[in-house]
């Protein structure tokens, strides 16, 4: 008796489920799915809240501006782009969940994301299984594009930035000795630090100290005291801006005189240091991928438009976000279809002139172009020069 009741209940549930299932599919016909509808759906992943939200919000804003422009100019394949961004809070698990939602529910044809290296690596592994064309605007860890043939990036990779800064220290700053302080719980930071160390040695720079700290540390005086004792010419600090703010202020506090060097994680550091402490980063050098002082009319127009739209100055992440979406749209147009394989081969052969300069992809699907060296003085970012190893 009991069993029969159970079976009846189960059957009733199943009928109910299939009825609601029908209703749902009937509803969604109106909006249309990505391939056959009147829009081309491109997914986005970015940390819009949380510790690294400065990056995510800027990247997302840049992407949205690109989508607006492309749609105004007629979209791709004669259809409008529908950009579907999700907030992953800077967390790898949230990023993978959001990715699944993009692929299964939203049925996107391509992905722009993620923003920071750790979640991007996690998402790339999933995207390779699905064969989904993916460009990360700003994920710099070398491993990301190694995941597979369909994973591209718009920004420089970690080792490239480390090598570049080592070459810059040796050739332009005449550094003979260097120290490194890095976050050993972070792929980006260790990646740049190791590449800098190796490249510095081959440039003839002696590494006096290589000091690690744990993610989330607030006190760096111990490491900085050790560095100060060996008095290096430069200190490489390949970490993200909130940590840079703390390290630079404490370095000044203990009287460290060396020039501070950094990579593109420094972008946004001035916004995280109060005016009264900004002299701590005075005279530093970091590499980035574009300069707001460039005379390129396209870039100047973007900067103006961004400021009008979002009431804040764009940073490198916004620019890269814009370019990543531009690259994807150009590739879809060139492919002439939303077929994953065709988009991927179009991306491989792409020559794209964007805000960051002329970009092609190398055999590891990393961009090839010049880097910009930036310094800080009087509380402002200043363009120094374009530099190529």
Partner 1 sequence: MEFLSQVINGLGIGSIYALVALGYSMVYGIVQLINFAHGDIIMVGAYTVFVILVMMNLPLWLAVLGSILFCGVAGVLIERIAYRRLLVHEAPRISLLITAIGVSIFLQNLYQLLFGSDPKSMPKMFAFAPLQFGGVQLTSSTIINISVSVVMMAGLQLMVNKMKIGKAMRATSEDAGAAKLMGINTNTTIAFTFGIGSALAAVGAVLYCNTYPQIKPVMGGLLGLKAFVAAVLGGIGSIPGAMLGGYLLGVAESLTNAYISSNLTDAVVFGILIIVLLVKPTGLLGKNTREKV
Q: Is 4 in the site for partner 1 (CB under 8 A)?
A: no
Termini Cα distance of the chain: 80
> 146 or 226: whose CB is closer to partner 1?
226
Binding mask 213-242 for partner 1 (x = CB under 8 A): xx-xxxx-xxx-xx--x------------x
Q: Is 276 in the site for partner 1 (CB under 8 A)?
A: yes
Nearest to 120 by CA among 100, 138, 133, 97: 138
- Only one of the segments 129-137, 210-218, 322-330, 333-341 lies at the binding site for partner 1 (rule: CB under 8 A); that segment is 210-218
Please give the full DSSP string across 311-340, using - where no structure is assigned.
SS---HHHHHHHHHHHHHHHHHHHHTS--H
Binding mask 170-199 for partner 1 (x = CB under 8 A): --------------x---------------
> 184 or 309: whose CB is closer to partner 1?
184
Contact 251, 211 (CB under 8 A): no
Give me 260's structure tokens.
């501070």
Least distance to partner 1, CB of residue 245, Å: 6
Q: What are phi and psi of 113, to 5 degrees?
A: 150, 180
Contact 265, 244 (CB under 8 A): yes
Q: Is 295 in the site for partner 1 (CB under 8 A)?
A: no
CA 246, CA 81: separation in Å to the nearest integer?
A: 41
Q: Is 246 in the site for partner 1 (CB under 8 A)?
A: yes
Least distance to partner 1, CB of residue 246, Å: 6
Nearest to 210 by CA among 188, 193, 233: 193
CA 383, CA 288: separation in Å to the nearest integer?
A: 10
CA 387, CA 375: separation in Å to the nearest integer?
A: 13
List CB contacts of 158: < 8 A, sequence separation 6 or more.
Answer: 117, 140, 141, 142, 187, 188, 191, 192, 195, 238, 263
Q: Is 312 in the site for partner 1 (CB under 8 A)?
A: no
- Only one of the segments 145-153, 157-165, 252-260, 381-389 lies at the binding site for partner 1 (rule: CB under 8 A); that segment is 252-260
Least distance to partner 1, CB of residue 223, Å: 7
Least distance to partner 1, CB of residue 325, Å: 24
Least distance to partner 1, CB of residue 267, Å: 15
DSSP 216: T
Angstrom distances, CA of residue 220 to CA of 26, 178, 267, 282: 59, 17, 21, 19
Which H, E and C letters describe 58-70, residue by residue?
A: HHHHHHHHHHHHH
> 91 or 233: whose CB is closer to partner 1?
91
Burial class (CB in 10 A: 0-12, 13-18, 19+), 308: exposed
Residues 90-109 that bind partner 1 (CB under 8 A): none
Number of residues lying near partner 1 (CB under 8 A): 34
- Only one of the segments 48-56, 110-118, 121-129, 380-388 lies at the binding site for partner 1 (rule: CB under 8 A); that segment is 48-56
> 28 or 184: whose CB is closer to partner 1?
184
Least distance to partner 1, CB of residue 282, Å: 14
Q: Binding partner 1 by CB under 8 A: which of 3, 275, 311, 380?
A: 275
Please report, as ranges, the residues that interact with partner 1 according to CB under 8 A.
Answer: 49-51, 53-54, 184, 211-214, 216-219, 221-223, 225-226, 229, 242, 245-246, 249-250, 253-255, 272-277
């Amino acid at each position: 008796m009991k069993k029969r009741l159970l079976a009846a209940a189960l059957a009733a549930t199943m009928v109910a489920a299939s009825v609601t299932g029908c209703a749902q599919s009937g509803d969604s016909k109106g909006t249309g799915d990505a391939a056959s509808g009147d829009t081309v759906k491109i997914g986005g992943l970015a940390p819009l809240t949380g510790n690294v939200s400065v990056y995510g919000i800027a990247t997302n804003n840049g992407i949205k501006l690109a989508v607006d422009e492309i749609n105004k100019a007629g979209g791709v394949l004669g259809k409008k782009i529908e950009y579907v961004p999700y907030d992953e809070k800077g967390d790898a698990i949230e990023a993978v969940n959001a990715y699944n939602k993009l692929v299964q529910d939203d049925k996107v044809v391509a992905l722009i994301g993620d923003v920071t290296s750790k979640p991007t690596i996690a998402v790339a592994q999933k995207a390779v299984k699905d064969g989904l064309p993916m460009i990360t605007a700003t994920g710099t860890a070398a491993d990301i594009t190694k995941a597979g043939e369909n994973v591209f990036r718009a920004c420089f990779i970690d080792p490239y930035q480390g090598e570049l800064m080592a070459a810059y220290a040796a050739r332009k700053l005449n550094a003979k000795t260097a120290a490194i302080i890095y976050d050993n719980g972070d792929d980006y930071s260790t990646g740049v630090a190791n590449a800098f160390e190796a490249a510095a040695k081959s440039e003839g720079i002696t590494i006096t100290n290589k000091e690690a700290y744990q993610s989330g540390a607030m006190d760096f005086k111990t490491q900085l005291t050790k560095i100060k004792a060996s008095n290096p010419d430069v200190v490489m600090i390949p970490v993200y801006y909130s940590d840079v703010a703390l390290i630079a202020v404490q370095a000044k506090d203990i009287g460290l005189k060396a020039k501070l060097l950094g990579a593109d994680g420094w972008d946004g550091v001035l916004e995280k240091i109060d005016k009264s402490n900004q002299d701590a980063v005075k005279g530093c050098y970091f590499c980035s991928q574009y300069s707001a002082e460039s005379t390129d009319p396209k870039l100047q127009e973007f900067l103006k438009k961004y400021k009008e739209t979002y009431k804040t100055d764009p940073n490198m992440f916004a620019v890269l976000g814009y370019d990543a979406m531009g690259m994807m749209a150009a590739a879809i147009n060139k492919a002439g279809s939303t077929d994953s394989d065709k988009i991927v081969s179009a991306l491989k052969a792409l020559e794209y002139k964007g805000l960051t300069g002329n970009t092609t992809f190398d055999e590891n699907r990393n961009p090839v172009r010049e880097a910009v060296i930036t310094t800080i003085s009087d509380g402002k970012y200043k363009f120094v020069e374009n530099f190529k190893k």
